[in-house]
């Protein structure tokens, strides 16, 4: 069997190493929960989108610059939403 990409090779090795069809979960879930943290491939193992998103969220929370940017964007979104609600309310009152 010839594997032409490093990512596919890592995925195949991880699946070969840990996947047990009789155990619970999919092969990807089993790889995500791999306990072999000393394995040289552990940091490169395939992860689901949900797990990747959680990792990014944790990184954002631990980065002060990203946290400030997030808070600024969040504040702007809340202000826009409040303005939209107020405009809709004014429009509804004007129609009465």
Per-residue pLDDT tens over the stretch 63-72: 888 778 778 8
Residue given tokens 């155990």 in the structure block: 23
Q: Are residues 53 and 84 in the same domain?
A: yes
Q: Are residues 29 and 69 in the same domain?
A: no
Q: Are residues 39 and 18 in the same domain?
A: yes
Q: Are residues 61 and 83 in the same domain?
A: yes
Q: Is the pLDDT of residue 16 over 90?
A: yes
Percent helix, strand and coil across the chain, each to the nearest 5: 70, 0, 30
Cα–Cα distance list, 87 to 75, 78, 83 (Å): 18, 14, 6
Query: So what's the pLDDT on residue 15?
Result: 92
Domain count of the chain? 2
Q: Are residues 96 and 52 in the same domain?
A: yes
Domain that holds residue 30: 1-47
Per-residue pLDDT tens over the stretch 76-86: 888 888 888 88
Q: Are residues 4 and 22 in the same domain?
A: yes
């Amino acid at each position: 069997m010839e594997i032409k990409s490093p990512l596919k090779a890592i995925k195949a090795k991880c699946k070969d190493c840990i996947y047990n069809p009789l155990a619970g979960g999919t092969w990807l879930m089993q790889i995500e929960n791999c306990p072999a943290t000393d394995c040289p491939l552990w940091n490169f193992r395939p992860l689901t989108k949900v797990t990747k998103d959680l990792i990014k969220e944790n990184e954002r929370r631990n980065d002060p610059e990203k946290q400030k940017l997030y808070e600024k964007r969040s504040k702007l979104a809340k202000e826009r939403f409040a303005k939209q609600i107020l405009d809709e309310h004014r429009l509804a009152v004007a129609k009465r």
